[in-house]
Amino acid sequence: MSTAKRSTPFYFGGLSSCVAAMVVHPLDLTKVRLQNMKGNGKVGMLATMIKIARNEGPLRLYAGLSASILRQATYSTVRFGVYDKLKHNLASTTQNPSVWQLLICSSAAGALGGACGNPGDVINVRMQNDGQLPPHQRRNYKSALDGIIRMSREEGVTALFRGLGPNVNRAILMTSSQCVSYDIFKDLLLRHSPMQDGLTLHFTSSVLAGLVATTVCSPVDVIKTRIMAASGKERKISSLTIMGQMYKMEGMRSFFKGWTPAFIRLGPQTIITFVVLEQLKTWHQAFGERQLIVVKI
């Protein structure tokens, strides 16, 4: 399959993801709340959002926004930036990189992004889940920075990397399923449909990529969320133990808890991220061509 030949600035992916995060944050918060609900109760996304707005106030739907932006500024900047650079280097030596080659690039990028973004992710999950806890257990972080400082002081710096394993695994799955599937769908639609390279193509490809990414990442995402939100004795429980407990007590469907809000969140996030990213690439290329013309003149 063909890939873009021109390399873009490293931070474009992170910038696009930050824009998307500001739009879909209430959906992300709802997803976290649903994933942390124990038992077999069936609670819908809309009902959860209404409950949060009534009991905690509408602004609580944006709880942890600073942590969400911090997470995207670290996690997404690294994973999109590394993937683009590796893909660009691969395209310079191979005219049509295979899916497997792209998966290797995305896995490496996802692992690095997951590790770099883990502190922001831990704070993000805690700030979003705080309102669900009893008043005496709430941490009440003022901001992402306050959360990082307090968590480092109270629990040690290593606490910022709690859930690193599941988070890295999820980042690998997310980057591979999201970025590679986007490239594949975009290439297939260009070759086998009347669509031209533009907004319609980017929108369609990103919706399909969001569907794939949500389904692939849901089980790891639920486990990661529960580990990061854990307190007290639950902090020392391993991923495998949590998986076993979930399967035994809640059944197979528990691994896909919050799938609907996850897709409703990841769909718009993926669309906004890739549309903004493609636009930034277009502007960057146009600016580069303009500079080249000026130099020639």
**Tokens standing for 65?**
């926004």
Residue 30's pLDDT is what? 84
Helix %, strand %, coil % of the chain (to 5)? 80, 0, 20
Comparing 166 with 85, the larger pLDDT belongs to 85
Terminal Cα distance for the chain, rounded: 36
Give the model's confidence band at 39: pLDDT under 50 very low, under 70 low, under 90 confident, else very high.
low
**Is the confidence at residue 237, as pLDDT, over 50?**
yes
**Is the confidence at residue 229, as pLDDT, over 80?**
no
Give the model's confidence band at 142: pLDDT under 50 very low, under 70 low, under 90 confident, else very high.
confident
**Is the confidence at residue 12, as pLDDT, over 90?**
yes
User: What mean pLDDT comes out for the span 266-271?
Assistant: 88
**Among 34-48, 178-192, 215-229, whose mean pLDDT is lowest?**
34-48
Residue 286 neighbours by CB distance under 10 Å? 10
Residue 272's pLDDT is what? 94
Residue 39 C-beta-side C-alpha neighbours within 13 Å: 4
Tell me the per-residue pLDDT of 89-133, one tens digit each, with 9 for 90 and over. 888 888 788 899 999 999 999 999 999 999 998 898 888 778 777
Comparing 284 with 290, the larger pLDDT belongs to 284
> What is the pTM for the complete model shown?
0.77
Residue 152's pLDDT is what? 93
Closest CA to 221 of 247, 253, 246, 258: 258
Q: Rounded distance, CA 117 to CA 168, Å?
A: 9
Give the model's confidence band at 3: pLDDT under 50 very low, under 70 low, under 90 confident, else very high.
very low
Neighbouring residues of 189: CB distance < 8 A, sequence distance ≥ 6: 195, 201, 204, 205
**Tokens standing for 198?**
């533009």
Closest CA to 19 of 58, 82, 85, 76: 76
Contact 250, 39 (CB under 8 A): yes
